[in-house]
Amino acid sequence: MRLAWLAVALSASACGGSDSGDCAPGLISQSNECLTPPNQPVRDLGGAVLGAMEVWTIVFIGDEAIGSAVDTLNGLVLASSYYTTNLSEYGVGAGTAHGVIVAGAPPSAVDDAFYDAQIGQLVGRVSSTGDMLTLGPNTVLTFVIPKATSEPVGTSYHTTTVATFPLTSGSSARVPYIVIRQDSVGFVADFDYLTWTQTHELVETATDPSSPDAWLDPNLDILGEIADLCNDIPVEEMLGGTTYMVTRLYSARLAAARLGDPCVPALATPYVNVAISPLQLAIPSGVGKTGTVHLSAYSLGPTTAVAWRLFPDKGYSASPSSGTLAPGASTDVTIRRTGNPENDPAILILFVNDTSNPTASIPRAESFGAVITD
In this structure, which amino acid lies at residue 190?
A: D
**235 and 146, same domain (yes or no):** yes
- Which of 250, 281, 312 is a domain's end point? 250
Determine, yes or no, domain membership for 45: no
pLDDT at position 154 is 94
pLDDT at position 19 is 34
Q: Are strands 316-319 and 322-325 parallel, antiparallel or unpaired?
A: unpaired
Terminal-residue alpha carbon distance, the chain: 15
In this structure, which amino acid lies at residue 112?
A: D
**262 and 232, same domain (yes or no):** no
What's the pLDDT tens digit per position in 38-69?
999 999 999 999 999 999 999 999 999 999 99
Q: For residue 91, count other CB atoms closer than 10 A to its CB.
A: 15
Q: Which helix (H) or strand (E) holds 200?
A: helix 190-207
- Which of 204, 233, 250 is a domain's end point? 250
Instruction: State how far the alpha carbon of 247 is from the alpha carbons of 186, 224, 353, in Å.
Output: 17, 15, 19
The answer to whether the CB of 53 falls within 8 A of the CB of 41 is no
Question: Bridge-partner residues for 367, per DSSP?
Answer: 350
Q: Which helix (H) or strand (E) holds 5?
A: helix 4-12
User: Looking at residue 80, what DSSP letter applies?
Assistant: S
Determine, yes or no, domain membership for 173: yes
Determine, yes or no, domain membership for 341: yes
pLDDT at position 374 is 79
Q: What is the CATH number of the domain that holds 310?
A: 2.60.40.10
**Angle in degrees, CA 108, 112, 115, rounded to 5:** 70
**360 and 287, same domain (yes or no):** yes
Instruction: State how far the alpha carbon of 38 is from the alpha carbons of 101, 246, 280, 296, 367, in Å.
Output: 45, 26, 12, 11, 11
**33 and 102, same domain (yes or no):** no
- Which of 200, 223, 250 is a domain's end point? 250
Structural domains of the chain, count: 2
**Angle in degrees, CA 199, 366, 278, rounded to 5:** 120
**pTM of the prediction?**
0.93
Counting runs of H as helices and runs of E as strands, what totals does the chain give?
Answer: 6, 24
Report d(CA 228, CA 326) in Å as an integer: 26
pLDDT at position 60 is 98
Low-confidence ranges of the chain (pLDDT < 70): 1-21
pLDDT at position 95 is 98
Report d(CA 147, CA 140) in Å as an integer: 22
Q: Which domain holds residue 337?
A: 4-39+258-373
What's the pLDDT tens digit per position in 163-220?
999 999 999 999 999 999 999 999 999 999 999 999 999 999 999 999 999 999 999 9
Determine, yes or no, domain membership for 181: yes
**238 and 303, same domain (yes or no):** no
Three-class SS state of 324: strand
**336 and 215, same domain (yes or no):** no
The answer to whether the CB of 22 falls within 8 A of the CB of 16 is yes
